[in-house]
Amino acid sequence: DTGVSQNPRHKITKRGQNVTFRCDPISEHNRLYWYRQTLGQGPEFLTYFQNEAQLEKSRLLSDRFSAERPKGSFSTLEIQRTEQGDSAMYLCASSQLNQPQHFGDGTRLSIL
């Protein structure tokens, strides 16, 4: 399968813990995006990379959130000191220049 891969698919953690998600984009795609989707809503943009450079961050991305794409391939999204409101589906997408985005199946985060 050469689609966008996200791990883990589901993460359950206690409030206050740190969590990290991984996204492996389609190999030739140089753009990578993170979105968050809560129940009953469409995805909301969090941040975007072109190669290894983080070019845009949403105001939704608080100081507790950090994303990296160190070698311009896979990306990680870390949430520190998780809160109840962080419970959501975290979606990763990738694309080539000016081409449609392809989404992974997401990581569902549940905060106890």
Partner 1 sequence: TQLLEQSPQFLSIQEGENLTVYCNSSSVFSSLQWYRQEPGEGPVLLVTVVTGGEVKKLKRLTFQFGDARKDSSLHITAAQPGDTGLYLCASDTGRRALTFGSGTRLQVQP
Contact residues toward partner 1 (CB under 8 A) are 4, 31, 33, 35, 40-45, 48, 55-56, 58, 91, 93, 100-106, 108
Nearest distance from C-beta of residue 104 to partner 1, angstroms: 5
Pairing of strands 10-13, 107-111: parallel
Task: Return d(Cα 27, Cα 38) in angstroms, integer.
Answer: 28
Nearest distance from C-beta of residue 84 to partner 1, angstroms: 21
Task: Return d(Cα 102, Cα 94) in angstroms, integer.
Answer: 5
Residue (13 or 45) nearer to partner 1, CB: 45
Residue (33 or 65) nearer to partner 1, CB: 33
Instruction: Give the amino acid at 90.
Output: Y
Nearest distance from C-beta of residue 71 to partner 1, angstroms: 21
Pairing of strands 19-24, 5-7: antiparallel
